[in-house]
Amino acid sequence: MRQDGQTSLAAGFLGLPSARSVRGSLARKVSLALVSILVFTLLLAAFFAYYKFESVYSSLVQSRYSFVVFTVKKKVEDSLNLGLALRQLRQVQEIIEREKARDSQILSIQVYDAQGEVLFDTDRGAIGTFVGSGLVDAAKASSAQSFGATDDDMLIVGLPLVNTLGKVEGGILLRYPQAYVEHGVGGLLIQLSRTTAELLAVFSVLAVAGLYILFGRVSRKLGSMERTLGTVLSEGGQAVPEAGGDPFEERFAEFVTKSREATDHIREATEEIGRLDRLA
Amino acid sequence: MTLDRTRPLFVRLLLLAFMVLVPPVGLLTYDALGEFSKGLVPELDKKAETVGRDLAASIERAVGYGIPVDHLVGMDEFFTPVLRSNPEIRYLAVTNRDGRILYLTGARREVLEPFYAVADFDDDAERVRKSNLGDFVDLAQPISGKNGRVGHLHVGIDDGFVRGRLMEIVIDIAVVTLGALLVAVEILLFVVLVNVIGPMREVGMVIDRVRRGDFSHVSGSGSDDEVGHFVSGFNAALRYCDDLFRRLEDYIDEVKAAHFDKSVVERVGEIEARVRFLFRFSRQGQPDVITERQAADIRLPLFLFVFAEEMSRSFIPLYIRDLSVPIPGLSPDLVMALPIALFMLLIAVVSPSAALAASRLGSRRIFLMGLVPATMGFVLSAWAYSVYDFMLWRGITAIGYAMVTMACQSYIAQISKQERRAQGLGVYVGAVLTASICGTGIGGVLAERVGYRPTFVVAAVLAVIAGMLIYRLLDTPQVSEQRSSPHLRQYLGLLRNWRFSALILFAAIPSKIALTGAFFFLLPLTLMLDTAVDLGDVARIMMIYPIVVVTLSPLAARLADRTGWKAGLVALGGVIGGMALVTPLIENSPQMLALGVVLLGVSHGLSASPQLAMIPDVCWTECRNIGQTNVLAFLRFAERLGSFIGPLLAAAFLPFFGYYDSIVAVGAISLGLSLIFVVLSFAYGSGPHIEAELME
């Protein structure tokens, strides 16, 4: 908006109280909101991507090890089906040691009986100890399905040993390091963190720049209207909306004119009364 | 860009938000997919190798006993369980030294034969060979007998397995992005309305007064930004005019009181009359302050609150199933339905009192009061021990929900002028539906990752944030003038109007039965019967409903206004809704259920707005007697009875029909009732009906 007549008027000349100072700009406020939404969105997207990967990856690792356990289970159950007692199956020790030797990530394989007593273990020193009751119960509850558990920094996958009559005779547990899964997904976590940070930096700058441009126009328009108002009220002239000005600016121009008209009229009335007062 | 109108600035802002939010999420997804693929493929290979090694060892054992590799029996039975328990492995095959397929399970011969025929398997005797075969990755494990190599065992990994998992990530992130965009819309709309459009509208109102010579008001907005600076300068100009006038007024009074010359006094009186004729100033000694409240003030808190409630939408029945304990005399299915039915019943019962309380005590107070039980309900639901206490916590949440939603409706009704009431209600419906889309989608995906209980905690946090916003935004209590509420007799008198009763019985109630019975209660349980469907899928299917409703509702409202075919649209919507639930008759599959959800959304999108728009015509007399708001409130109350009946009806069907057929049964009831409305709709006619008044 421009004004006809003199420009550059300070409100103080007119006796108008000075306008409140700008402490938080509009662009800054909206930037804060938009950048917060961007942070929230990127973090949530990264969170979901990471956890999906983590869940697929860990279930894939678990299913690989459960296949190993399944292999041992088949061999042990074949012997059980011949009528031998689990405790008597000496070849089991050899089977589990062979399986462990094939995969360096396997920490231990244990075979235990229905009471939880470890009968065979790749760590021979652990034979005769008992596994936790939770694992015994899990084996009894799952009957055909593999079950998973955690033990400190180890992940456990297990399967029950079932005889021909369907009775759970015990179970097999395979332990592998949690660090293996963490290492596998760690790469993605680092990569995602780095990408998120980079994208956040770039697009935050873009958001802020875009908002400063967008609200810069608003600020300029408001500043121009405010200056026009001050100038017209103090020095006269007319507020004229710029070419292509919107309806609000047109209404504001009328407001400025009307305000000037009112002040002029009141001043004239005051002067007229003053004249009458003095004349008498 | 017009400063006092929302659209121009908001559209620009939205475009910017889209440009700032979507590309980084897309890039992040692309990056994640690359890493995902890189990490997953070696692990898949390891698994295939493990499986292959074990199977090859078994075959070698048989060959070691002297059975020729091409004379092994029962290989299909040997391979099938392995394939069944390892879905990422698509086929298992054994080839001889020449690459001829001896045994194959899981794929067609003609797909693999051309490759095996030309492959050189003699190379690198002990190495596992990896090759890409169209949609498969083939890992060949050598099989050796006493006299050396006898053939290869092939493990075929489905290339689509990795693609499928990648697609799941893409869909999850797409849901998050959609949710984030909708949240961005809500927040930016709020920021723009509160900081720019609201203050500029007030300025616009003052400007319009000044253009008529009325200098009696200033704008009440005040902030520390450019708009606040402008408003401050604007108000200063008005106060300057007002000050000049006050000084003139004082001078006139002084002259009138002290001057001895009558003609001068007379002349001064004329000047005063002229000034007062041309300009109007406040009689209070200083300009009055205009503060315009808007329906949008309450939109963001309402959005956050409904978002919080909707987060559990996709898993509530599953959570109840986990908590379920036998209740003597009730079937397990009915026990599962009880918390949902109770929730709906309490909303129906508490809503009228909450609305009354909001008009007496103010919306802000009731909103904040309602948040206490709602938040407690969310938190305690997270720690629910059994279905008994869960019912109690959901009951508490329902009370809070009724109070908060009624407080919002009451606020909008108070501040919207009659002609802008529909616009105000549009703000309410918009916030609720958008929150429903985001809440259902994000809540389901979140619950899949972190579990049901933490999701309730997140809901509680959102409810608290909604409360904080209300506390800050609505700083004065909004109390409306006390109006006596109609008596129960007057409400029941509404049922004498057959058009209204028919609308309730054959349109509103069936639609709610379908919604709560089939959609809220049966759908998640039925979808989860399919082992390939996870909670994220349930949430994504359920969020289709609000998306369709939010898309169709404005179109249906416009169509109803333009054609006046309101009863017809309600009837059509009802029939589509009924048909939506009988889609499992075609096939019992998640795809059919998803189609049903789309149709249910179409149904409610078509009928919801025309149903409300019919009321002023159908109940013309009653609206005049007890007020349109009260008639609408009674309609809402009555349809919530349908919401209460729905889950119980569905649970009653479950022992007899099972999940899929129970959905069909609920659909059949809904369809039957809707067909009655179709017949009756022809007798509705158009325009206001004044029979009731004539009868009286």
Q: How do the domains of chain A map onto residue ranges?
A: 43-186
> Between chains, do A53 and B39 touch, taking CB under 8 Å as contact?
yes
B194-208, B509-523, B643-657: which range is least confident on average?
B194-208
User: Which one of B273, B290, B307 terminates a domain?
Assistant: B290
Indicate the pLDDT class of residue B500, thresholds 50, 70 and 90: confident
Is residue B311, in this structure, part of any structural domain at all?
yes
The mean pLDDT value for B326-334 works out to: 81
For residues B330 and B469, membership in a common domain is answered with yes
Looking at the structure, tell me whether residues B553 and B684 fall in a common domain.
yes
Output B296 or B243, whichever has higher pLDDT.
B243
In angstroms, the CA B618 to CA B624 distance is: 12
CATH of the domain at B399: 1.20.1250.20
Domain contains B625: yes
Would you say residue B216 lies in a domain?
A: yes
Same domain assignment for residues B509 and B437: no
Number of domains in chain B: 4
B423 vs B435: CA distance, rounded Å: 18
Residue B583's alpha-carbon distances to B297, B525, B534, B675, in angstroms, are 42, 17, 21, 17
Out of A38, A67, A103, the one facing B20 most closely (by C-beta) is A38
Cβ pair B14, A30 in contact under 8 A: no
User: Based on the domain organization, do B558 and B599 belong to the same domain?
Assistant: yes
Q: Look at residue A202 and tell me whether its pLDDT is greater than 90.
A: yes
pLDDT mean over B322-350: 87
Residues with Cβ < 8 Å from B512, sequence gap 6 or more?
B639, B640, B641, B642, B643, B646
B517 plus B618 within the same structural domain? yes
With an 8 Å Cβ cutoff, are B237 and A259 in contact? yes
CB A41 to CB B177 under 8 A?
A: yes
Is residue A169 over pLDDT 90?
Answer: no
User: Length of chain A, please?
Assistant: 280
CA distance B302 to B299: 5
Determine the pLDDT at residue B343.
Answer: 94
% residues pLDDT > 70 (chain B): 93
What ipTM did this prediction achieve? 0.78
Question: With pLDDT > 90 as the criterion, what percentage of chain B qualifies?
Answer: 23
Tell me, yes or no, whether B129 lies in a domain: yes
Same domain? For B333 and B265 the reply is: no
Please give the pLDDT value at position B694.
Answer: 44
Residues B368 and B501 reside in one and the same domain: no
- Average pLDDT of the segment spanning A139-148: 74
Same domain, B317 and B373: yes
Query: Tens of pLDDT along B128-146?
Result: 777 777 778 888 888 888 7
- Are B282 and B327 within one domain? no
The pLDDT of residue B420: 59
DSSP designation for B418: G
Contact check, Cβ <8 Å, A34/B188: yes
Q: What is the mean pLDDT of residues B270-279?
A: 86
Q: What is the pLDDT of residue A9?
A: 32
Kindly report the nearest CA distance between residue A5 and chain B, in angstroms: 18
Question: How far is it, in rounded angstroms, from Cα B657 to Cα B653?
Answer: 6
Domain shared by B509 and B610, yes or no: yes
Residues of B in Cβ contact (< 8 Å) with A102: 53
Q: What is the mean pLDDT of residues B491-514?
A: 86
- Residues of the domain holding B346: 294-485
Q: Does B259 contact A277 at a Cβ distance shorter than 8 Å?
A: yes
Contact indicator for A231, B248 with CB cutoff of 8 Å: no
Residues B415-474 have pLDDT tens digits of: 766 555 666 677 788 888 889 888 988 898 889 888 999 999 999 999 999 998 888 777
**CB contacts, 8 Å: B24 with chain A:** 38, 41-42, 199-200, 202-203
| Residues B284 and B298 both lie in one domain | no
Core vs surface per residue B54-70: b (16+ CB within 10 A) or e: bbbebbbebbeeeeebe
CA distance A37 to chain B (A): 6
Average pLDDT over residues B380-393: 92
The verdict on a CB contact (< 8 Å) between B259 and A20 is no
| Cross-chain residue pair A20–B224, CB shorter than 8 Å | yes
Q: Please tell me whether residues B307 and B453 are part of one structural domain.
A: yes
Q: A1 CB near a chain B CB, below 8 Å?
A: no
Question: Is the model's pLDDT at A6 over the cut of 60?
Answer: no
Distance from CA of B53 to the nearest CA of A (A): 10
Rounded alpha-carbon distances, angstroms, from residue A156 to A127, A149, B323, B613 = 18, 5, 27, 62
Identify the closest residue of chain B to A184 by CA–CA distance.
B39
Q: Which of residues 205-224 of A touch B (CB under 8 A)?
A: 206-207, 210-211, 214-215, 217-219, 221-223
Residue B169 maps to a domain = no
Decide if B82 is inside a domain: yes
What CA–CA distance (Å, rounded) separates A60 from B36? Answer: 13
Which class is domain A43-186? Answer: alpha beta
Residue B667 clears pLDDT 80, i.e. is over it: yes
